[in-house]
Structure 1
């Protein structure tokens, strides 16, 4: 189990923020969790600690948004997400800590850029329906980065947001999608030792904050504009991404 108040002073707000996002804002800020915790611990350890917490959040979110999902999209998304997860499981064990930090830093900066670009462009796009090609590609990417860093939200947003789904259907669809993805990840995470006793014990300490964050997100879903929430959190993600990018690149160059 990880000791030290500094870790929990960071981890508790991160869990609450991810729960808020997952419960009411489409789950996109799952991208924040691993980069933030990687500032203090090994990214592989961070991913292992977070997975049981995310699975707990999924149960609360599934109940809150039960039946509010789009099956036409999910039938396209599920198979290709499994392909992406397989790719992540087969390559993750061969990556060094610095490689993972570099990859997560690049993904974090990309996701911030996508958010800023999307805020400008999505208002100008015409709505389109489900697509096997777009859905398959972005779901595969989502499965891969979800395995590496629980960061599958933005690729799915790239696919779903241009469809202009009702807000609740959009959130419900992402909730069911990532519930299946996260529970599937339990198998390879356990096989490769990321769900060891230390990680599980640390996760149990943080676990009470998981449903609290989700329930707050559900409560705020229809009451608060998401603008302040996303601008603040993507600002934090930008800072974490830059730091991880620099540290990862420096470590690889020094090797």
Structure 2
């Protein structure tokens, strides 16, 4: 797994474990923090390429409990909208400098924190009115794009599904299915654009046990750790890392 210093492996292990904990025990929304963390110590494209197989591994390890409990019509609409969003992200990657992606990842991180806090404070009335089908398609496009550039497609999907008044299990299962399929769709452009390399895949082999360990811890922590505490830590982490990426991109 040559090519990286020990500090990068340490940060990578933390990022992989954190993503696993988020997906395994607290929903998938904050799992993109792994890519945000890694982008602090390596080019953003490299960070995205490393995290995608790890996120797919975590998805596969947590899919079974939700098998066929999703809302297929909603999932299909979101995925069909998500594919053009993935294509848009791939097109941007071909022309953008790394600092553009640092800026995008940082902005998405801060917007995510702001969106979550406003929702918890009651400043946003999320999901009060059912969105029409075109709203689901638009949410899919935004999710596909933000998922491609930062692995952070959760908020637009959540807004649409909450408006549909689906149950907790259906919500989680549909989210797992949607991002499982969108992550598969990202594999081809990631490979074509050189985001995957032998170096990133070798790094992934070393990080895979930490990702699975995180998923296991997440399942256990779901019953032991208050959700509010976990997300408070997440918001602080994303605010610090997102701000640092924006600063690096602009300076």
Aligned with 2:95: secondary structure?
A: coil
Q: Relative to structure 1, is the Cα distance of residues 125 and 201 closer, same or farther in structure 2, using a 3 angstrom cutoff?
A: closer
After TM superposition, give the deviation of residue 235 of structure 1 in Å: 0.9
1:118 is aligned to 119
Aligned with 1:121: secondary structure?
A: coil
1:146 maps to 2:155: no
Q: Relative to structure 1, is the Cα distance of residues 123 and 148 closer, same or farther in structure 2, using a 3 angstrom cutoff?
A: closer
Q: How many residues align?
A: 250
Aligned with 1:52: secondary structure?
A: helix
2:74 is aligned to 73
2:19 is aligned to 18
Q: State the TM-score, normalizing by the size of structure 2.
A: 0.92
1:253 is aligned to none
Q: State the TM-score, normalizing by the size of structure 1.
A: 0.90
8 A contact 1:85–1:144 mirrored in 2: yes
Q: In 2, distance between residues paired with 1:122 and 1:173? A: 26
Q: In 1, distance between residues paired with 2:72 and 2:216? A: 24
Aligned with 2:68: secondary structure?
A: coil
After TM superposition, give the deviation of residue 129 of structure 1 in Å: 4.3
Q: In 2, distance between residues paired with 1:123 and 1:193? A: 39
After TM superposition, give the deviation of residue 26 of structure 1 in Å: 2.2
1:27 maps to 2:28: yes
Q: Relative to structure 1, is the Cα distance of residues 163 and 227 closer, same or farther in structure 2, using a 3 angstrom cutoff?
A: farther
8 A contact 1:30–1:153 mirrored in 2: no
Q: Relative to structure 1, is the Cα distance of residues 87 and 230 closer, same or farther in structure 2, using a 3 angstrom cutoff?
A: same
Deviation per CA, 1:145-201: give whole Å up to 9, x if none: 111111111222232234453322222111111110111111111111111100100
After TM superposition, give the deviation of residue 96 of structure 1 in Å: 0.7
Q: In 2, distance between residues paired with 1:163 and 1:225? A: 27
8 A contact 1:72–1:130 mirrored in 2: no
2:63 is aligned to 62
1:238 is aligned to 239
Q: In 2, distance between residues paired with 1:130 and 1:238? A: 30
1:132 is aligned to 133
8 A contact 1:62–1:175 mirrored in 2: yes
Q: Relative to structure 1, is the Cα distance of residues 115 and 141 closer, same or farther in structure 2, using a 3 angstrom cutoff?
A: same
Deviation per CA, 1:107-148: give whole Å up to 9, x if none: 111111111111123885664446312211111101001111
1:53 is aligned to 54
Q: In 1, distance between residues paired with 2:80 and 2:17? A: 30
2:201 is aligned to 200
Q: Relative to structure 1, is the Cα distance of residues 114 and 99 closer, same or farther in structure 2, using a 3 angstrom cutoff?
A: same
8 A contact 1:64–1:218 mirrored in 2: no
Aligned-pair RMSD on alpha carbons?
A: 2.0
